Amino acid sequence: ISLRSDVASSVRSIISTAHSLYSSGAYLHYYEREGVEKDDWAAAFENAWRIVESYEELFKL
């Protein structure tokens, strides 16, 4: 069970760090230049959180 909770915890940490970088505007100009818009980021973060929640629900963490 430890491995399961470690995975969820690690992924949560990665998403949180990515969201902090996004919120501060870090590197966004590179993505905007390639056509990635704010709505794309919002959808990506929403999907990532949903995956973590589904994983936790699956293993009842």
Q: What is the pLDDT, as a whole number, of residue 2?
A: 66
The C-alpha atoms of residue 52 and residue 39 are separated, in whole angstroms, by: 20
Q: What is the pLDDT, as a whole number, of residue 6?
A: 85
The C-alpha atoms of residue 2 and residue 31 are separated, in whole angstroms, by: 36
Which residues have CB under 8 Å from 35's CB, separation 6+?
A: none
Q: What is the pLDDT, as a whole number, of residue 14?
A: 96
Domains and CATH numbers, the chain: 2-59 (1.10.287)
Each of the 61 residues of the chain gets a pLDDT tens digit; together they read 566 778 888 999 999 999 999 999 999 999 999 999 999 999 999 999 999 999 889 888 5
SS3 25: coil
Q: How far is CA 26 from CA 1, 53, 57, in A?
A: 35, 26, 32
Q: What is the pLDDT, as a whole number, of residue 5?
A: 75
Is residue 21 within 8 Å of residue 27, measured between CB atoms? yes
